[in-house]
Amino acid sequence: DPTEIGELEEKLDILLLKEASLKELDREIEPSVEDEALEEEVSGAEGYAERISVAKTRVKRKIKEHETRSNTASGSLTRGSDSGEPSFNHALATVRLPKLEIARFGGDIRLWPGFWGQFNATIHQNESLSDIDKFKYLKSYLIGRADVAIEGLQLTTENYQVALDLLTQRFGQKDLIVEDHMSRLLAVRAVHDSRNVERLRTLYDQIETGVRSLAALGV
């Protein structure tokens, strides 16, 4: 099934992007991690890298199995028949449309970089899709304030870029995203009881998420 192969290839592309992003973030954040936390940070990063590697291997194996079956089927078609009708020596061309698995975006500016990264890799750079098709996908992923921001635009080729520009101006301004992350970091509640392990872990996760998000923005 060409569509299924396309979906597997898209997932592989996303895994490669995540792997590269993770490596870059680890390089940026490592100098700022305290010595006592460095071992835990390295261990966590290695765990993520191992899971990504396993996933990549499985996806590649699936793609290889599909290609083998496809080649076998294609070979049988080239032999044709004795009816005098022309035989097919290739599978019917099929446009591989991405499966709609990107999380919807509702207007939280902190989530815009992640949303755009996935949409850009899966839809925007997909040369088999027209701008109108991309616009349809874009609208299907928007809810709430993000959907309202472009609801007046008609579904045309020209308006696809207009919609992207409006969304970027509204939700993708780097300084506003950085400001939001900083505000949330400053608002994190302190833990006064060192025995409250659960609260300490929550505090660590909140700070770690904020720091990594800022690092991804180049701050």
> Can you read off the two tokens belonging to residue 23?
């490596």
Give tens-digit pLDDT for 7-56.
666 666 676 666 666 666 666 666 665 555 556 655 665 666 667 676 76
**Which of the residue ranges 43-57, 87-101, 156-170, 192-206 would you say has the lowest mean pLDDT?**
87-101
- Cβ-contact 112, 105 below 8 angstroms: yes
With H, G, I as helix, E, B as strand and everything else as coil, classify residue 142.
strand
Residue 83 in this model has a pLDDT that exceeds 60: no
Residue 159 in this model has a pLDDT that exceeds 90: yes
Half-sphere exposure of 75 (CA within 13 A, CB side): 6
Residue boundaries of the structural domains of the chain = 2-71, 109-172, 175-217
Round to whole Å and give the CA distance between 173 and 109: 8
Round to whole Å and give the CA distance between 199 and 219: 27
- Cβ-contact 183, 189 below 8 angstroms: no
DSSP code per residue over 38-65:
HHHHHHHHHHHHHHHHHHHHHHHHHHHH
> What integer pLDDT is reported at residue 197 of this predicted model?
73
Residue 72 in this model has a pLDDT that exceeds 70: no
Round to whole Å and give the CA distance between 116 and 215: 17
> What integer pLDDT is reported at residue 127 of this predicted model?
92
Round to whole Å and give the CA distance between 151 and 149: 6
Q: Cβ–Cβ contacts within 10 Å for residue 14, how many? A: 18
With H, G, I as helix, E, B as strand and everything else as coil, classify residue 160.
helix
Task: Read off the DSSP letter of residue 93.
Answer: P
Task: Read off the DSSP letter of residue 105.
Answer: B
Q: Which percentage of the chain shows pLDDT scores above 90?
A: 23
With H, G, I as helix, E, B as strand and everything else as coil, classify residue 36.
helix
CA angle 13, 14, 18 (to 5 degrees): 120
Across 78-92, 117-131, 164-178, the highest mean pLDDT is recorded for 117-131
Give tens-digit pLDDT for 86-122.
444 444 444 555 555 788 999 888 888 889 999 999 9
Q: Cβ–Cβ contacts within 10 Å for residue 41, how many? A: 15
> What integer pLDDT is reported at residue 110 of this predicted model?
83
- Cβ-contact 15, 55 below 8 angstroms: yes
Round to whole Å and give the CA distance between 49 and 51: 6
